[in-house]
Amino acid sequence: MPVPSEQGVHRRALLRDHAYESLRDAIVEGTLEPGERLRDSELEGWLGVSRTPIREALLRLERARLVVATPGRATIVAPVDLESTIDSQQVAAAMHELAARLATPLLAGEDLARLEEANARFAGALDRADVPSAIAADDHFHQVFVARCGNAVVPEVLERVVPVLRRVERMRFASFAGRDSVDQHAAIISAARAGDAERAAQLSLENWLSLRYTFAD
């Protein structure tokens, strides 16, 4: 087939992804607060990209429930609400349960070492009240299973639903309740080391569902 005449496809994709990731991170980290209005002109100046990749990024963020768009009026940062969080939590928990079940029989010694190292960094970050580092270490811990599970759909689904939870995790990991996850991670490692896929999966599910207690405190 002839080469399509359209030019710059990859460059536009990179710009779109850059805009999405920058906006997503700003919302998750609280730089852009719930209810804050997102104006295209201001975002263009901040991100240094044109309106098209910004609008595409905002559509992705709307599907991920991180922004709310009212046609003809305004686009705002979505509030942190219980319904959206629980919906995302249930899907994320199910995906991580599946990842742990599929990955556990495939884990090598280096994978178990990465789990131990990530949980140690996670515990240290909580001790220092370093929430961004705690979230990064938690990501690295669970990513070991996601990377080994062999199911390409799992990371695609998680990329959509996890950002909603990250805003709640910032509150959880800033509190003493976050310490529970250190022990939960240790139990997951023990199950994985024993090759018990079903127990590792169940413990991973419980670990992600424990986020509900943020709302009960």
Give yes or no for a contact between 124 and 185, defined as CB atoms under 8 angstroms apart: no
What does the DSSP assignment read for 197-211?
A: HHHHHHHHHHHHHGG
Least confident stretch, 5-9, 15-19, 207-211: 5-9
Q: What is the mean pLDDT of residues 61-86?
A: 87
| pLDDT of res. 171 | 64
12 falls in which pLDDT band (50, 70, 90)?
Answer: low
| pLDDT of res. 49 | 87
pLDDT tens-place string over residues 94-141: 999 999 999 999 999 999 999 999 999 999 998 988 888 988 999 999
Q: What is the mean pLDDT of residues 171-184?
A: 74
Instruction: Specify the CATH number of the domain 9-77.
Output: 1.10.10.10
76 falls in which pLDDT band (50, 70, 90)?
Answer: very high
Instruction: Specify the CATH number of the domain 82-216.
Output: 1.20.120.530
What residues have CB less than 8 Å from 34, skipping those under 6 apart? 77, 78, 79, 80
| pLDDT of res. 169 | 75
Give yes or no for a contact between 126 and 173, defined as CB atoms under 8 angstroms apart: yes
What residues have CB less than 8 Å from 207, skipping those under 6 apart? 96, 181, 184, 185, 188
| pLDDT of res. 201 | 98
Whole-number percent of the chain with pLDDT over 90: 51
Exposed e or buried b for every residue in 97-114, given b needs 16+ CB within 10 A? bbbbbbbbeebeeebeeb
Tokens found for residue 94: 């199910």
Q: How many Cβ atoms sit within 10 Å of the Cβ of residue 50?
A: 13
9 falls in which pLDDT band (50, 70, 90)?
Answer: very low
Measured CA to CA in angstroms, residue 105 lies from 54, 127, 149, 188 at distances of 42, 32, 9, 13
pTM, to two decimals: 0.80
Closest listed residue to residue 57, CA positions, set 70, 71, 43: 43
6 falls in which pLDDT band (50, 70, 90)?
Answer: very low
Identify the H or E element spanning 185.
helix 179-193
- Domain regions of the chain by residue span: 9-77, 82-216
216 falls in which pLDDT band (50, 70, 90)?
Answer: very low
Q: How many Cβ atoms sit within 10 Å of the Cβ of residue 71?
A: 6
pLDDT tens-place string over residues 20-59: 889 998 998 888 989 999 998 899 889 888 888 899 999 9
C-alpha 217/C-alpha 84 separation (Å) is 18
